[in-house]
Structure 1
Amino acid sequence: MPEGQAPVLPQEAIRRKRDGMALDANTIATFVEAAVTGRASGEQVAAFLMAAFLRGLDRDETVALTQAMTRSGLRLAWPDLHGPVLDKHSTGGVGDAVSLILAPAIAACGGYVPMISGRGLGHTGGTLDKLEAIPGYDTRPALPRLRAVVREVGCAIVGQTADLAPADRIFYAVRDVTATVESIPLITASILSKKLAAGLDALVMDVKTGNGAFMQGRAEAITLARSIGGVARDAGLPTGAFVTDMDQPLMRAAGNALELRQAVDLLAGRTHEPRLMAVVVALGAAMLRLGGLVDSHEAGAARLVAALSSGQAAECFDRMVAALGGPSDIVARAAVLLPAAPVVRPVLATRAGVVGRIDTRAVGFAVVALGGGRTRPDDAVDPRVGFTGLLPVGAPVEAGTPLGFVHAATDAAAVGGTAALTAAYRVADTAAPTPDPILEQFDVTA
């Protein structure tokens, strides 16, 4: 709360925004403080977010909200590191395991990545939910442990602890279950409050667009990227952005342990995911360039590919998992160590043709319905469930060809998952050409 100004009651902040008034920095700061201290109830937090969603927040309000959320906890500094502190953030997608590969790859290239990640939001998977499928992995380490892991390993993917951006942790959980996710100002403040609290030297944004994204139109995605870039610029954080395609899952798996297994297999060189790797390399090259570790995007891409193909990135991932309480050999033994669903069934195409379209959002919600996501903030997540072997758009099929495989906790759940995936896929006579996963790249800090 700004010094010397009187606090504003939570209900007054809600009323003003409900009635379309612009909120000053003091009003926003006092509401954020009230949410963190418990003086604002859960109902009031939900009402405030809905009012902001419906009425919108202008640039000044968004900056004030971001700053207040950042100030709600500690802001890290990294004076003892010997390289740039870098991070990326995705607006959320289906089959998006980029962070699991990119963080250790950047660490292998000389960067430091204190990645403050989130849980599943709406129909999209959450990086923390994926990592919690690893036995013993601590997604909320104490700050001394977090600092030590980043310093010694080069990366740590963790959640918002009680010390870092606690306001965002509260708002994030409420937005997930109150249909207030798709708000550019709220998304901007959520992302940047975590990243500013992490003490970054540079940030790269992955803004998804398409039928599986929160920002389904490309114009919306660009607006979000520019919103984040403008607020980040005001805070002195160099930021680059990509708009990437989410008209189909980014890889052939959807579900927490299933995506983690696929990412680990990619790190180990046991499988290949062309669309996922294209995004990993593009974002990683930009991170290395913004951090001053390379002079060009091409040099960054080559360095990142070398870190992956040499096994250095896989080694960093193993070390990170072990340092945060998990097993030391997750890359080699993922098939044994990760939980598996008891029911696995193929989902068969009913006609011949090609995969013409995938309702990616429906695939994400099908994972939630299987138990792999939340409909309430306190819901438990079953990491075992979801889909594997998902065919991409343009893939040829015959009647009886598996569109994918459902992984479920029960036979009844498998039946529901089969119906949902069948409905999400459209098999046609032809398919339109699929776009590259990287749709647009631009510097949003200029």
Structure 2
Amino acid sequence: MDDQAHAARAMWNQLHDLWTMTPRCQRSLTRMDQALRQASKEVDWYAVLPAQAAQAVLKTYFQAWRNCWGGRAEEPTFKARIRSVMSVDIPQGRDLQIKRVHRRWGVVNIPRVGRVRFRWTKDLPVGKRADKDNRITGARLVKDALGWHIAFRVQSLQPAPEPHGGGQVGIDAGVNGPANLNMFWFSNDHTGGPANTSAEVADNDLAVGRMVDEISHSTYWKDSAIFVVEDDSQNGLDHVDGHRAPVQIISPYAQHGTVDSHYYSQITMIRTVEQILGIHPMNQKDSAATPMFGAFTGKADTTPFTAVPNRTSLTLGVSPTPSCGADTPAAQDTDAAPAPTSAAVPQAERELAAQWKTWASHQRLTGAHAVPDYANAEQMNRYTWYQTHAWTKPYPGDSKVYAPNDVPGAYLPSAESDG
């Protein structure tokens, strides 16, 4: 298969050279086809590529130019040996001769290779299940870090969907339900807005809780997995490792009430999502990553989750009080740690808090001119900490509560500034 893929790549590059060197008025599909047939006779190692696969290279190249002319893609380029994906096209479905030999396995005929076994992961219209409206029209062989894979082109006649009689819906919620992958961004836990730190984190927690409540009470819950992860931990180090950030997995198949201390990363989470969706890795990083097996169980618990109301006012720290009035939080939970209920600054710390408020007003934290990660990380960490601890408790590792200009490292520019 490698020889066929290299021959297909070389044929693409030969077509590209011929196309770009030919005057525009003389370029045509017929001319390229004649040149391709002549090259196949003169170049011995082109013989490893079946004639139909060679024709597929020509059609794919010509379609790439049509996509370019239609404004849907960039111009076709030379395919380098290392950077390009190795692939071979089998344009005729009748050449495949697919047969299912086991519940999990099938065999397929690959031209110039022979009968090859493949893993049967989806129903295919073969044998008695195939007809003129439902059939396999071809296949494409692609090589990645895990080896060669085959993808079948299936022609299927689908019935027209029932008219949607409800109200307007978003792009992810159509007639047939939500998309297989949905991404939500709840950004208030980055802090720095009009409300104080405790209120913004409570706002984010409430949003996550309501989303989980909605999904877990729906018919899609039995097939759902929700990954809750932070963009970063506000650059604040903890007592174990400065790169740590929490992740929650919420699913009928997730371990419930368990803290999993295995080493995971953003890449292992992406690999896990890919496994759930049944898609191939995107690159070498997620291909080499180990899925988060330890976070899941084979026995489903479909008990839904019910969101609890916020126990911290969502308008805590907002001054003046918004026109809609202050948010009224729920009562404290006696079985949980006390939630912040006041933004009052002790009399002795009001001058210090005022200095920090002035500092925050220049950090582009919110509003039309907000800039991500604009603030100095050392100062932002302490600002968040001081707000949360009533301006009286030093930041971990410090001996006192600092004013903005006295923070160690305050004059170093932010390492991640986009400004």
TM-score by length of 2: 0.25
More helix by percentage: 1
| Greater RCO, CA 8 A, separation 6+ | 1
Larger Rg: 2
TM-score by length of 1: 0.23
